[in-house]
Chains A and B, each alone.
Chain A
Amino acid sequence: MIGGVFIYNHKGEVLISRVYRDDIGRNAVDAFRVNVIHARQQSRFPVVNIARTSFFYTKRSNIWLCAVAKQNINAAMVFEFLNKMIDVMQSYFGKISEENVKNNFVLIYELLDEILDFGYPQNSDTGVLKSFITQQGVRPVTREEQTNVTSAVTGQIGWRREGIKYRRNELFLDVIESVNLLMSQQGQVLSTHVAGRVVMKSYLSGMPECKFGINDKITVENRTKNTTDSTNATTNPNNGATNPATTTKTAIAIDDCQFHQCVKLSKFESEHSISFIPPDGEFELMRYRTTKDISLPFRVIPLVREIGRTKMEVKVVVKSNFKPTLIGQKIEIRIPIPPNTCDVQLLCMKGKAKHKASDNAIVWKMKRMGGMKESQLSAEIELTPNDKKKWNRPPISMNFEVPFAPSGFKVRYLKVFEHKLNYSDSETIKWVRYIGKSGLYETRS
């Protein structure tokens, strides 16, 4: 298992060092600094084996996080753990920076003591941890409260404590999708997928059981089959024939989905229903991925012409491809240009365009853009004659935000049941929001 965890600043100075196992020597800290942080050639792999010791590392801003092990341990788990640890630290003190780490080192040690025991990851749920690792000193707690804490740490429902009360039972659902696209120069879609997340903020009392319904093809089909079967018996068959046609249209095929640990996976497997007892506050309920029938909100059409050795002409057309009533926001198009650019003449119909010499790119920003519109930018680029290095054209990338889910994902229902406190499903106030964002949205130029 994990033998130790180290945190370094960008210079390679140790900020935190916690060793769990005897087989990790004191020189392990230095070995990593010398061989990875200070190495002349940047290491190309996230796992390095130095003198039969494996170092797993990741970097956040300029802080190095490193886990060490001598055994053949579960590598996926180590990285998952490092990420989890970053999440926990962030939720305690915000951004991971040298200053924050230094100021909170006692807290970090305390956390490390709690979430790793002898190198075995233990309960790392932020909500639960916050219930008993505080930096306010110890308040005198009653015995009951203590057992609540411990049962929360170890209990079946480790992510929620008992006795939560809200005056208003409210929940917020955010469906956040990022659209990933790789398009060839000729406008051919090379690959596309939507990575979606359902983020829930729950402010519910007691131990509510929730049931979540989406327009997933399998569940919808199951349902329509059942309903058509029953309707067929009563009404005329013509109705039944049109019915499924309309429902399947709105259903989407989800390639794969993953759930927060609170979701009962076995139930999902057997009945395809998503039921869970939510943690308090914000959490990511579900992640999913779709690849079929994605409506791409924008299309970029590049036209690059090299005129001689010192001149280049770039023309970029952006088309929005969604309902005219909707409005896309935060649109940013990044057009890479050669590093030996010396002057850029820009002309755009809408928004603002700038040449960012430091990034070797033209950045074209539009605050908003309606559906079914088109806009254009043309640029003349002058180059200094320098052909030492061939310029390979990086793809044009794009950022945006649209108020719908490009995959067609729809929340059908979210029901809340609380048996003890007896507030009904209809009393809960529910909010749903769809956000479509750009992931890696690239067009090769």
Chain B
Amino acid sequence: MYEGEGKKGEIYELKAELNSDKRDRKKEAVKKVIASMTVGKDVSQLFPDVVNCMQTDNLELKKLVYLYLMNYAKTQPEMAILAVNTFAKDCNDPNPLIRALAVRTMGCIRVDKITEHLCEPLRKCLKDEDPYVRKTAAVCVAKLYDINQQLVDDQGFLDMLRDLLSDSNPMVVANAVAALSEISEQSPQIKIFDLNGPTVNKLLTALNECTEWGQVFMLDAIANYAPRDDKEAQSICERITPRLAHANSAVVLSAVKVLMKFLELIDQNSEFAQNLFRKLAPPLVTLLSTEPEIQYVALRNINLIVQKRSDILKNEMKVFFVKYNDPIYVKLEKLDIMIRLTNATNIAQVLAELKEYATEVDVDFVRKAVRAIGRCAIKVEQAAERCVSTLIDLIQTKVNYVVQEAIIVIKDIFRKYPNKYESIIATLCENLDSLDEPEARASMIWIVGEYAERIDNADELLEGFLDGFKDENNQVQLQLLTAIVKLFLKKPTETPQELVTRVLTVVTQETDNPDLRDRGYIYWRLLSTDPKAAKEVILAEKPLISEETDLLEPTLLGELICHIGTLASVYHKPPNTFVEGRFMTKKNLPLRSGFSNNDGESMGNGAVPSNYQESVVISSNVGSLIDDFDILGPMPNAPTTTTDTLYGQSQQRAPSAIPNLLDDELSSILGTDINMGGVQTTPTTATTNTSAPASRLTTTATSGGNLLDDLFGDLNLSSGAPGISFSSTNTFVLPKEIWLTAQKGKGMEISGTFARRNNQIVMEMDFTNKALQPISDFALQINRNSFGLIPAQPLHVTSPLFPNQTVSATLALNTTGSIAKSDPLTNLQIAVKNNIDVFYFNAIVPIHVFFGSDGEMDKMAFLQTWQDIPESNEVKHQLQNSSNLSIDDLQNKLRLNNVHTITRTTIEQNEMLYQTIKLTNGIFVLIELKTSPGNRTIAFSLKTRVPEIANLIVQSYELILSTAQGAIRCVRYNIDGNYCLTSGSDRTIKLWKPDSNLTIKTYTGHSQEVLDVHSSYDNSRLCSGGGDKRVLYIDVMSGKIVKKYQAHAGRVQAVRFNEEGTLIFSASIDGTVKIWDVKSREYDPIQILDDAKDSVTSISLSGHEILTTSLDQRVRTYDIRFGKLTEDFIGHNLTYINISHDQQCFLVGTLSSQLMLFDKINGKLLQTFVDYTNNTYMIENALSNDDQFIYSGSEDGRLICWSLLTAKQVCAVEHEANNRKSVNTLSHHPKEDKLLTAQEGNIYIWSKTDNVEEKEEIKKSVVTEKKFVAPKFVSAGFE
């Protein structure tokens, strides 16, 4: 009570002093406050009084007040706001010290209200003229990011920070690097600090002039950079090497880290690398003469470095000799490194030292020294004998813990060198009684059991142990049990049967330990049923003890090397084991990309220095793989002997000439034809000037007009025809098949397939390990083949692959390799190497992956070529159009696979398609397809100069046509609900009648998936937008594209007509909404709404208002009449907006799995609808016509309906049982209670039954579903 009063008095006094007029008293008072604060007293009551002192020009006083603020602002946020004005004022102070102080302090006050006010001063200070202020501001950005990431993003501070990397002042650069590194570590998912060549260069330049700490920041940042090639790595290494002479050990270690990491990329045997290795040793040794704490950090790191590259310090053994006065932690670490460096040449020295250490006083150290002697014996075979005799000497000292430790290691020596040192057993037995530690006792018992036949009184010894069996440690008990049984099996005649029975009885009946009991039972049964088997089991040969059991696992070691100097390297643990919360990116050592394909000799027989480096240096083994591979299987001798002109031709072309192939081929076909006047020639005379045929082409076009008319009749080009180039994304892919069975692959199973992705042939493989041990060191090589396929990059498989684990790997392939005809033509011989063996197998490459995207041909050229190829080369076939594809679909589907439709025509009601394919090796294939109405077969006829491939092409057509693919991007009812529009990722828009399943028309013209479509009120026009950034304005009747708008910078996600159909609103990922006047002749938007900070996801129109949602979490309402913009911050990423029919509310979908209903007038949140999944896709929602119900798709394949008023789920129905694919799009019928949805390629119509009640039981019956055999769509998911 009394004390409490005293305290109060103290505070009261301080209060009075703080409010004193005298500056000195004030300052003293603040000092007292800070002193109390330090000791942990609560002085927060003085907050207002202290803050009052802030307004001073005394820098020291100001600093004190700021210190107080930092501590207490959080507890008194309302009061802290009082300080904001002073901060703002100080940020404009003429004195740079004060400006910096203010910025520094503000960032430490974690009060939201203050943070808001921080932005403007910070922005100014980031551009301050004084470098001192700038460097402080740079760190402040990191502080701010820690408080409010969104704010930093929004305010563009990150860009400003990046700008500071080019600052003229090195310290500013250093702090910017530090801040950026921290920020990017906090949000690894965003590429905030993307190091590239020029940036690294800037850092390297600034490095020379920076403070020691700045150098550490920069080196740590550079360590995260991935150099493009070994040259760049080498030049960075060169510039960093001088840092090794820095006095600050942190700089040295960080430099070592960069060097160790980048050395991975440099050829180990090069002079440069060897030189660098030599340069690394002295600075590491010098670190040992620093303060003990730093020595400790250095030693822990040296321990890692030695494990990675033992030769760096192999000659420096002496420096690790322990000094008498070293702190114990230094001693233990030195000992560890000594053992790692021990080899045959220095063992004598080491052993003498270890013997010395074994007489020291510190028990832990002595034990470790004794153990080290044993480890030396196991490591260096030549020295084993000397080590053993040293151990015997130590045992003779009779120092209890030395003896025990010695016996433990001798057990390991026995396991390593069986039947070699049994002579010492007698000495060991003398010390039996002094052993009191379980491990030592267990070791001794093991020795007795193992060598029972040599020890005369083994039974007595073991019996002695058995007497106190129950008091023994579990480990000892287990060992004793085994030893007695061993003894019995070895000397069945002499051993008293009673001993065995006794131990088995005790173990099985009187013990609670299940391990012990079970082992007892097993022995008992083995002995009683089959003594011979018992012998085999119990006396089995033991695997030899491995010499380096205490080495770190190589991947962990690699990761730790990337963390040299940091805590992880001190703990020898990856950071995620001791750092909380943050999502950490795992660092790995870079892999050297020396996997060149043909010239294996450069790295042929590189002997691998030690076995654990093997996993890193893959390239050193590749040479041998290639050698093996070349002699495999029967192969044509030389490519020139292949008679086929085709192969000869493509051989002559340099690999880089691929893009020109088209010209060459065309000119060879056309040029010769024109010259020869239609006489057939072989295309081998492809030497004609490439520019000449181009002009000739035009002339043939006019002169050959009649010809064309004859063949094609009335030309009826579809709107999506050749004028538009299609950047094909993905062609269809066959399912993976097993290439190499586990049986053949010694446990490694490989299944795979080929695909064409983004115009790159890729091999997609799954590696499964069905063996018992991990598999590592994967490499792959492809034999010469018909199409010249070779890997474009080395195979990258996460290694090691543990048992029962499967990893997928994708390998890009080039077609620039050497060519040899294989049989069958598409056969590919593949060799995969791993640490076990090299395996060879065959795979068939589906021919359609060779279809090039550049295979379009001019009509005339087509015609000419068609005529040129002899009739005998024509192959005819009947294709089954089993899924009843329309001619449009057919065309689309084929186009996706790089089959180009040259022209399309109708002859006597038969639709004809003329198509070309160009293979990667330049072969053209010309195809004619004929469909007749009502007939499901397609007449197929093909012409090519290389008839061998004809059948393969036919097969691929069958494959392409038979695969049903699909997902639908968008479904929309038209204005009256009689028709509906759907669009998909097959780049088409379809108009169809929902009730009759009748496709009326297909509209094409987009070159990528179509994301949204809308019809005008009079149903005469359509507008659409898609991934190709275009907005199309299409005439419904003719299908013609009336207008094509191309001003968006990113894909168009939503399009809408205004009510009159005169304007199109398009929203794009580029963050703008553009408004187009369709009546105008202009192709520029009449207005651009670019208020959004992120992609605009949807638009909704209602009368005079435009509502948009954006991923910047805001709903924007544009009032056209007043020209006013209202922003509502929702706080979630928004995907879709709908306005209620009464125009009072709007409903938004969010990426946090909730729909939110807001009052449009005042922005109040009215209702939240939950219990569905929406985290990734843009899921659309809808309101029923009477605004009673709310519908939405869900990512788990359900359609959800809520009651608007209660926010309760009325129903949730699955589209298909067992199909949990996302339902993205839906549209409500404008008049009836019907819904249109789509899941993947199927379209569903739902109609509502009448009596809706909020009851759980009737959920399923509320909505009946009606499924259609929908028009087939081609798809890709929507991210």
B-binding residues in A (CB < 8 A): 1, 13-17, 20-23, 29, 44-47, 49, 52, 54, 56, 58, 69-77, 79-83, 105-106, 109-110, 113, 117-118, 120-125, 132, 135, 137-138, 141, 143, 146-147, 149-151, 153-156, 158, 182, 190-191, 193, 195, 255-261, 264-266, 268-269, 284, 287, 289, 390, 392, 394-395, 440, 442, 444
Contacts and interface: CB of A to CB of B under 8 A. Distances in A.
B294 A76 contact: yes
Given A146-B96, A260-B247, A120 B178 contact: yes
B689 interface: no
Nearest to B399: A390
Contacts of A69: 567
Contacts of B178: 1, 120
Contact of B67 (A113, A137, A444): A113
Contact of B94 (A79, A143, A264): A143
A49 B571 contact: yes
B59 interface: yes
A258 B246 contact: yes
Contact of B296 (A45, A109, A123): A45
A260 B211 CA distance: 11
B545 to A, nearest CB: 29
B38 A120 contact: no
Contact of B579 (A1, A52, A82, A138): A52
Nearest to B317: A191
B216 interface: yes
A22 B170 contact: no
Contacts of B569: 75
B360 A58 contact: no
B31 interface: yes
Which of A52, A76, A266 is the most central at the interface, judged by chain B CB atoms within 10 Å of its CB? A76
B745 interface: no
Given A49-B571, A83-B291, A150-B132, A124 B213 contact: yes
B566 A75 contact: yes
Q: Is the interface of B mostly helix, strand, loop or mixed?
A: helix
B242 interface: yes
A56 B293 contact: yes
A14 B36 CA distance: 11
Contact of B324 (A16, A124, A158, A394): A394
Which of A44, A120, A265 is the most central at the interface, judged by chain B CB atoms within 10 Å of its CB? A120
A120 B297 CA distance: 19
Contact of A54 (B58, B252, B291, B567): B567
A80 B943 CA distance: 78
Contact of A76 (B170, B243, B249, B282): B249
A339 to B, nearest CB: 11
B319 A58 contact: no
B292 interface: yes
Interface of B: 31, 34-35, 38-40, 57-60, 63-64, 67, 94-97, 100, 104, 107-108, 110, 130-133, 135-136, 139-140, 142-143, 146, 169-172, 175, 178, 182, 208-209, 211-213, 216-217, 220, 239, 241-243, 245-250, 252-254, 282-283, 285-286, 289, 291-294, 296-298, 301, 318-319, 321, 323-325, 328-329, 353, 356, 359-361, 364, 399, 563, 565-571, 575, 578-580, 582
A58 B291 contact: yes
A14 B578 CA distance: 26
Contacts of A287: 247, 286
Given A120-B175, A120-B217, A121-B213, A261 B246 contact: yes
Contacts of B182: 1
Given A47-B571, A154-B132, A154-B135, 19 more contacts: A16-B38, A58-B293, A72-B579, A77-B213, A79-B293, A106-B31, A118-B140, A120-B175, A122-B171, A123-B213, A137-B58, A150-B96, A150-B132, A190-B318, A193-B319, A256-B285, A260-B247, A269-B242, A440-B324
10 contacts: A44-B364, A70-B579, A74-B250, A109-B63, A122-B211, A135-B60, A138-B58, A258-B252, A266-B239, A442-B323
B59 A138 contact: yes
A150 B571 contact: no
Nearest to B67: A109
Given A80-B249, A154-B135, A154-B172, A75 B567 contact: yes
B565 A74 contact: yes
Which of A23, A71, A268, A395 is the most central at the interface, judged by chain B CB atoms within 10 Å of its CB? A71
Nearest to B243: A265
Contacts of B283: 256, 258
Contacts of A260: 247
Given A52-B578, A79-B291, A269-B241, A73 B212 contact: no
A128 B571 CA distance: 36
Q: Is the interface of A mostly helix, strand, loop or mixed?
A: mixed
A14 B39 contact: yes
A50 B169 CA distance: 39
Contact of B567 (A14, A47, A58, A156): A47
A358 to B, nearest CB: 18
Contacts of B40: 14, 29
Given A46-B329, A120-B178, A258-B286, A72 B211 contact: no
Contacts of A83: 291, 294
A106 B294 contact: no
The 3 closest A-B pairs by CB, nearest first: A256-B282, A150-B132, A77-B250
Given A76-B565, A118-B139, A440-B323, A47 B213 contact: no
A44 B325 CA distance: 14
Contacts of A70: 579-580
Nearest to B63: A110
B282 A255 contact: yes
B40 to A, nearest CB: 7
Contacts of A258: 245-247, 252, 283, 286
Contacts of B239: 266
Which of B133, B216, B247, B325 is the most central at the interface, judged by chain A CB atoms within 10 Å of its CB? B247
B571 to A, nearest CB: 7
Nearest to A115: B213
A44 B329 contact: yes
B245 A268 contact: yes
Contact of A264 (B31, B131, B208, B297): B208
Contacts of A1: 178, 182
B211 A146 contact: no
Contacts of A135: 60
Nearest to A265: B242
A390 B133 CA distance: 64
Which of A16, A46, A147, A259 is the most central at the interface, judged by chain B CB atoms within 10 Å of its CB? A46
B248 A80 contact: yes
Given A155-B131, A265-B246, A75 B570 contact: yes
B34 A147 contact: no
A76 B246 CA distance: 13
Contacts of B63: 109-110, 113
A23 B239 CA distance: 37
A104 B984 CA distance: 74
A20 B108 CA distance: 8
B247 A120 contact: no
B142 A75 contact: no
Contact of B96 (A137, A147, A193): A147
Given A72-B568, A266-B242, A154 B294 contact: no
Given A73-B566, A75-B565, A106-B34, A158 B211 contact: yes
A105 B35 contact: yes
A156 B110 contact: no
Given A146-B96, A257-B245, A261-B212, A74 B566 contact: yes
Contacts of B107: 118
Nearest to A152: B132
Contact of B285 (A153, A264, A266, A289): A289
A310 B213 CA distance: 58
Contacts of B293: 46, 56, 58, 79, 82
A284 B575 CA distance: 36
Nearest to B246: A258
